[in-house]
Amino acid sequence: MIKVTVGLIIAMEEEFSSLESYISGRREIFIKGQRFVVGKINKVKIAVALAGIGKVNAARTTTTLSQNFSPECIISTGVAGGLGKLPKLSIFIADGLVQHDIDLTSFGRAKGVLPGMDSPIIRTTIEIKNMLKKVSSSANIGIIATGDQFIASEEKAKEIAEEFGALACDMESAAVAQVAKLEGIPFGVIRVISDDAGQNAHEDFSVFLEKAASLNGKIVADFLAHYIESKKSN
């Protein structure tokens, strides 16, 4: 096992590329065909996992990361949709997560609620959330809704926002959170808004992806610098 301090989970190559320039002493490790990059960012030993898109990929990656690298905490990061509520290229920090495509309402459960859950919302680790907030005091903070859909409809975006009180959406973070919680690992979410999840979302995503990913890489690097200083002071 290679012990790291922070595990970073991202979905796409474009998001990974934005972090590459910050990584020193990097080396690639493949576990059952899955790519991990180990190195340091701002003196923090990290493992960056390229998960692929969707909840299954995210859950598998989080499990593999936790079992093979034993991180102190896990961060789900990258770009996200704004559900019509957040401006493009704004920073979003989650204080809660929900899987918007879970529906057991036929059994009398609220949407997003699985057996064993009292609420559809999984809360992020307070300590990690507060560290992320210090990196970006202007960040929007709220619930992110995860599902195996790229949301590109004002109607669907409004439905998700109203159903769960969500400000943003993605396709991985709640799955990361669920596994991290089961594994007993502190976790957080920070993302940059690439589109508004409306009917032009696919076009906005293509236009803003590079800028959003670049901004996200810088924010993650800043967080890691703060993380190590915070640990020293404790």
Number of domains in the chain: 1
Report residue 152 as tokens. 């590109």
Is 155 contained in some domain?
Answer: yes
**CATH of residue 150:** 3.40.50.1580
Is 50 contained in some domain?
Answer: yes
Residue 75 near residue 81 (C-beta atoms within 8 A): no
> Measured between alpha carbons, how far is residue 139 from residues 4, 57, 93, 133, 150 in Å?
27, 27, 7, 7, 23
pLDDT in tens, 187-199: 999 999 999 999 9
pLDDT in tens, 147-180: 999 999 999 999 999 999 999 999 999 999 999 9
pLDDT in tens, 115-146: 988 899 999 999 999 999 999 889 999 999 99
Is 183 contained in some domain?
Answer: yes
> Measured between alpha carbons, how far is residue 225 from residues 40, 42, 46, 138 in Å?
11, 5, 12, 18
Mean pLDDT of the residues in the chain? 94
pLDDT score recorded for residue 231: 67
Q: Which range of residues forms the domain containing residue 81? A: 6-233
Question: 136, 156, 137, 135: which is closest to 147 by C-alpha?
Answer: 156
Q: Tell me which residues are annotated as active site.
A: 15, 195
pLDDT in tens, 6-16: 999 999 999 99
Question: Mean of the pLDDT values across residues 17-28?
Answer: 94
pLDDT score recorded for residue 228: 76
Is 140 contained in some domain?
Answer: yes
pLDDT in tens, 75-122: 999 999 999 989 999 999 999 999 999 999 999 999 999 998 889 999
Is 1 contained in some domain?
Answer: no
Residue 189 near residue 144 (C-beta atoms within 8 A): yes
Report residue 226 as tokens. 């703060």
